[in-house]
Amino acid sequence: MSRVGKVPIVLPHEVSCEINERTCKVQGPKGNLVFSIPSGVKVVVETNTVFVSAENKGAIASYGTTRSIINNMVIGVSQGFEKEIEITGTGYKASCCPKYLYLALGKSHGICIEIPKDIEVKITKPTSVLLRSINKETLGQFAALVIRQRPTEPYKGTGVRIKNVPVFRKEIKRK
């Protein structure tokens, strides 16, 4: 059994957490996030600490996850999250306008992806895209959507991937 849920969450001085019935609202300098607390999980805020516990035996499976989500919300509104996406390949590049991310990935057509409201996209180089957000879940889903357009292939290593994430490379096929 995991003991992640038993660890208390310490709130930084600029972050506040409010619990109203089954919703948790976290506010900070970068924004605010809302989470719906699953049934059977009890969340209590005391001064600058948040405690999560299971009210019944059936909720033991979800109280650790609830604690991790609330902790990610606290980190998001105070520091934020970022992921850097690397594009490798001849002619592969990215460009951006306020609402859309354009990718040229060696297909017969360009790929246009709508950027969610709470994600900030910055093109540092034509082959490098920096994603920032206060919501870790939305950021991960958007990064996965971009990577799905052309995943890194194992022989040459060309494609789209998150920077500093290792890619399993295969040896060239021989006769």
DSSP summary character for residue 170: -
Query: What whole-number distance in Å separates Cα of residue 99 and Cα of residue 132?
Result: 14
Structure tokens at 162: 């998150």
CATH T-level fold of 81-162: Outer Surface Protein A; domain 3 (3.90.930)
Residue 49 in this model has a pLDDT that exceeds 70: yes
* 81-162 matches 4-78 in CATH topology: yes
CB 96 within 8 A of CB 112: no
Q: Tell me the three state secondary structure of residue 162.
A: strand
pLDDT confidence bin for 175, thresholds 50/70/90 = confident
4-78 — its CATH code? 3.90.930.12
Query: What whole-number distance in Å separates Cα of residue 137 and Cα of residue 116?
Result: 12
Give domain limits for the chain: 4-78, 81-162
Task: Write the pLDDT tens digit of every residue in 54-77.
Answer: 888 888 888 899 999 999 999 999
Q: What integer pLDDT is reported at residue 2 of this predicted model?
A: 65
Q: What integer pLDDT is reported at residue 169 of this predicted model?
A: 87
Residue 116 in this model has a pLDDT that exceeds 90: yes
pLDDT confidence bin for 4, thresholds 50/70/90 = confident
Query: What whole-number distance in Å separates Cα of residue 49 and Cα of residue 72?
Result: 14
Quick one: angle between helices 60-78 and 136-148, nearest 10? 90
For the whole prediction, is pTM greater than 0.85?
Answer: yes
